[in-house]
Amino acid sequence: MSLLVANDISKNYGDLDVLEDVNVRVEFGDRIGLVGQNGAGKTSLLLALGRLDAGVGGELHIAQGIRIGFLSQDPPPAGNRTLYEDVKAVFADLLEEGEKLRRLESRMTEAGLCDEELARLLAQYGRQQEAFEQAGGYDIDQRIRFVLTGLGLPESLWHAPLSHLSGGQRTRAGLGRLLLEEPDLLLLDEPTNHLDVRSMGWLEGVLIGWRGALIVVSHDLYFLDAVATRIWDLAHRRVEAYRGNYSHYRLQREERRVRWRKEYKRQQEFIKETQAFVRRYKAGQRTKEAQGRETRLKRFMEEEALPPPPKDQFIRLPLRTDSRSGDMVMRTRKLVAGYSGSAVETADDGGGGAFQEANGEGGSGVRPSRPREVASSFKGSGREGMPEGRQGRLRAMRSIAASDVPILEIPDLELNRGQVAALIGPNGAGKTTLVRTILEELEPLTGRVELGAAVDVGYLAQRHVGSGYGLMKEGQTVLDALLEVKRLPTERARTFLGQFLFRGDDVYQSIGSLSGGERSRIALARLTLQGANFLLLDEPTNHLDLDSQEILQDALRQFGGTILLVTHDRALIEALATQIWQVTPGSGDKPGRLDVFKGTWRQWQSERLQPEDEVSAVKEKAAPTVAEAEWSRQREARRLRRREERQEEAIAETEERIARLEHRLEELEERMAQASAGLAFDRLHALQEEYEAISERLEITLEEWAAMAA
């Protein structure tokens, strides 16, 4: 069943065309991942399909009665309600039915009712109660708890006004509303933003069992592999559809482009040969034959010729280290990271507030009294390279501290050369606080961080602009931001920036005018130029398109130094991490803790994630709620039904491919006959090669069909 059909969708912003003649179809049960480079128009397409943009051309047909839900990247308006009230408003109609039941209960207890009236009320009550129960009226609170907890919104926030929540928390609340509304078609724009690893896994489970269809824009490779059954690739203003998840799409796209390049090359050779023949014989003895070929070539160019294959632009990331560190790169001893009371009082709050990380979305926290320049990197161990003035200033701050705010207790740990540690945990648990302590932007409350011999640190901040270590200034140009790291001749610097897609006058743009993806690219350029041997990377894949993420992943895999990753990107963790540092947030006056797991991501998942869930369930000593049990039952039923539907769809799609291949063979037979009659032997040879290739493909497809239908 088609939920949505879009024909010739177009969208432009002034002279800039974003979408052109986009034709797509959404079937019931589709889980579509919408991918494309930053700025390709993915959000514009979502808005067009949701009828949320009146300035879109083309035709959009939506099945009658279909409800569409849209999640924006921007947080919804705060409003005056609490989080729980806002989410519960989804069930307004059902709650009204509950009120009707209570009014019936009250009437049935009134004195003086005759038996006939009481019997009538009881019958009415029975009907309404059964309908209320089947609609899930008795499970509303459990369903809300299931969703809010799954999205990482703790009970301490449920009764807080929405205006008191951060933008990320409001976005998660908006996603929770959508999931509880259960629309027939979900349009999700970056739903994993602001989610931690556990919440992402929970959301994947919900979406895999979604009743209806969904289209999701995401830069999360792991998420797209888990959820998507189809991929729409938006490039050059149009959409090309692929079956399977993201990994399948990557293979299919490369296969298509290889075939495209080969066919285009063969086509260009045919065109050149034909044009040469026409030029040679048009005015000679074979004029008639030359004119015929010229006519056929013109028709071919108008009706059959392939366009040139696209030339996508990708960043180059020559990430290397200029020096070799000692075997021990970093270690901690009795370390507690947090904020001193005086630092909290005197810090400039322009970066988002001293306690933003502890209470919300991982902001910049307290700024150091004197941030170091990005080009500097500290070497040696302990605090030896620290300016004496700064040491004194920090000692003074500690001496006048009224109260300390411990955020994270760190066990004695050691990171050795060549290792990759992934620092994971919920937003606001203290990950950035630890990084800033390692960078000496924050003085440890107790204990110490030691760096090994010849350690040269390169830092990539989560937010790229500000006045802290490793950050750029909004007024800088792209070129100035690069030259701040290392003085280079201008032409060499411009050539280097070209590897990160800053070409021509792009290098004179101000940092403040750049998009998030462009800022990420210049930040990576600065990091690459430093040549450090110990990389501290705070959410390095933020704002990068999927192709750039894979390029970064490959570059880091080949990097010869040591890496500490702060990330929610599970694909990056899986590809690189040799150990997992898991942060658990504190509660009340108790700081959070950091646990070290020496092993890969998959090992951590199997040995830590599941047992922790089981232990948690035992601690609570509570059976699954009615809502959770029903949700699981429905999800399993949908999974089985969807598996059968996918099998039927696969058979139908294979039969369509067989029909197309057979039709193509018939066309080729006709063209071969025409080429033979016209003595066009070169053309005949090319057609024979194509005929043999398609015949072989048809045999393989018939074998696939027989295996599926067995």
Is there a single domain that holds both residue 420 and residue 335?
Answer: yes
Residue 235 lies in a domain: yes
Amino acid (1-letter code) at residue 606 = S
In angstroms, the CA 583 to CA 410 distance is 9
In angstroms, the CA 557 to CA 536 distance is 15
Residue 258 lies in a domain: no
Domain finish residue from 588, 620, 652: 620
Q: Looking at residue 478, what is its pLDDT?
A: 87
DSSP state of 605: I
- Secondary-structure breakdown of the chain: helix, strand, coil percentages, each rounded to the nearest 5: 50, 20, 30
Question: What is the Cα gyration radius of the chain?
Answer: 31
Is there a single domain that holds both residue 356 and residue 458?
Answer: yes
Structure tokens at 564: 């500490």
Structure tokens at 41: 């128009």
- The string of DSSP codes covering 132-159 is HHHTTGGGHHHHHHHHHHHTT--GGGTT
Is there a single domain that holds both residue 636 and residue 560?
Answer: no
Per DSSP, the three-state class of 234 is: strand
Residue 472 lies in a domain: yes
Domain finish residue from 555, 587, 620: 620
Residue 255 lies in a domain: no
> What residues does 537 pair with on adjacent strands?
460, 565
What are the b/e assignments for 18-43, b being 16+ CB within 10 Å?
A: bbbebebebebbbbbbbbbbbebbbb
What are the b/e assignments for 378-390, b being 16+ CB within 10 Å?
A: bbebebeeeeeeb
Closest CA to 468 of 600, 572, 596, 374: 374
Per DSSP, the three-state class of 457 is: strand
Is there a single domain that holds both residue 488 and residue 353?
Answer: yes
DSSP state of 609: I
Residue 86 lies in a domain: yes
Is there a single domain that holds both residue 188 and residue 83?
Answer: yes
Is there a single domain that holds both residue 129 and residue 233?
Answer: yes
CA-based end-to-end distance of the chain: 25
Residue 658 lies in a domain: yes
Is there a single domain that holds both residue 552 and residue 667?
Answer: no
Burial class (CB in 10 A: 0-12, 13-18, 19+), 644: exposed
In angstroms, the CA 553 to CA 541 distance is 9
Q: Which domain holds residue 651?
A: 626-709
In angstroms, the CA 541 to CA 562 distance is 18
Half-sphere exposure of 458 (CA within 13 A, CB side): 26
Residue 190 lies in a domain: yes
Sign of CA dihedral 404, 405, 409, 414: negative
Q: Is the separation of the CB atoms in 265 and 308 below 8 Å?
A: no
In angstroms, the CA 182 to CA 212 distance is 9
> What residues does 216 pair with on adjacent strands?
33, 188
Is there a single domain that holds both residue 437 and residue 292?
Answer: no
H-state helical runs in 328-387: 341-346, 356-359
Per DSSP, the three-state class of 297 is: helix
Residue 665 lies in a domain: yes
543: number of Cβ within 10 Å = 18
In angstroms, the CA 69 to CA 174 distance is 10
Is there a single domain that holds both residue 630 and residue 513?
Answer: no
Domain finish residue from 576, 603, 620: 620
In angstroms, the CA 465 to CA 472 distance is 5
Low-confidence spans in the chain with pLDDT less than 70: 1, 312, 341-403, 466-469, 588, 608-643, 709-710
CATH number at 334 reads 3.40.50.300
In angstroms, the CA 610 to CA 602 distance is 11
Residue written as token pair 């366009």: 307
Q: Looking at residue 628, what is its pLDDT?
A: 52
Is there a single domain that holds both residue 563 and residue 432?
Answer: yes
Is there a single domain that holds both residue 615 and residue 637?
Answer: no
* CA-to-CA dists, residue 636 to 206, 208, 228, 585, 642, angstroms: 11, 10, 18, 33, 10
Is there a single domain that holds both residue 612 and residue 642?
Answer: no
Amino acid (1-letter code) at residue 308 = P
286: number of Cβ within 10 Å = 15
Report how many domains make up the chain: 4
pTM score, whole prediction? 0.68
